[in-house]
Amino acid sequence: MTRADELAAGLAAVEERVARACEAAGRDRSELLLVAVSKTWPASDVVAVAGLGVHDFGEARDSEAVAKAAEVASATQAPPRWHHVGRVQSNKAAAVASYADVVHALDRARLARALSDGAERAAREVEVLVQVSLDGDPQRGGAVIADVPALASLAADLPGLRLGGVMAVAPREGDPARAFALLAEVAEALRADHPQATTVSAGMSGDLEQAVAAGATCLRVGTALFGHRPPING
């Protein structure tokens, strides 16, 4: 199998899972955005998957992502939309704001301000999702639920940012369905104050079915599409 065949088969398998999950949940595929998480994979893979009709790609490390986005831009007519799904150190915020259209891991006020400053300097507007910690474990990133409203309001007010919604990674322990149900409650509460913040980013290769069932609007899928990453890059 060529790499192009592998990627086509990976995408078809993911779309099959998404279609089945939508059917089981009584949802329409058009309610879901698939972000192909291309971290560790080369720009040529992004170009190939974009050629299959995927418009949204996710990265987790700013240095890798900035270089890859430039490479992809020079190889394609219409550049894809880039999503930064990984944690962001405040001193990397300007680099992230320079390439990413959507940042999924906003988890603190300082980062919101740094991203907004970076976006303004780059004359861009960056969409942000507030990452919610569903188990209160700060190691996995995310704001604790009690801090979400203030962080969301700050993001909505900052000039370089647009508040898009919420994001979460299922906790290592426990049932992802319960975690995503909690995220759905947080998302609903957020929409009461910010009706435009409709994105619920949840679900990865291992738990996309549970995310679709719980009402996610955005799936972040890497391994099931591209294959297994070298373990060092997580």
What residues make contact with ligand PLP under the rule CB under 6 A? 37, 39, 60, 85-86, 169, 204-206, 220-224
Nearer to ligand PLP, 81 or 120 (CB): 81
What 3-state DSSP class applies to 145? helix
Give CA angle at 139 (82, 172), nearest 5°.
Answer: 85
Query: How far apart are alpha carbons 203 and 141 in whole angstroms?
Result: 16
Report the residue closest to ligand PLP, judged by CB.
222
Nearer to ligand PLP, 160 or 222 (CB): 222
Output the smallest distance, CB 123 to ligand PLP, in A: 27
Query: How far apart are alpha carbons 49 and 2 in whole angstroms?
Result: 13
Output the smallest distance, CB 205 to ligand PLP, in A: 3
Output the smallest distance, CB 195 to ligand PLP, in A: 26
Residue 218 is inside which H or E element, if any?
Answer: strand 218-221
Output the smallest distance, CB 104 to ligand PLP, in A: 7
Nearer to ligand PLP, 184 or 220 (CB): 220
217 CB-near residues (< 8 Å, 6+ apart): 31, 32, 33, 165, 198, 199, 200, 201
Nearer to ligand PLP, 160 or 203 (CB): 203
Nearer to ligand PLP, 160 or 226 (CB): 226
**How many Cβ atoms from other residues are within 10 Å of residue 35's Cβ?**
25
What 3-state DSSP class applies to 143? strand
Output the smallest distance, CB 58 to ligand PLP, in A: 7
CA nearest 169: which of 230, 110, 210, 115? 210
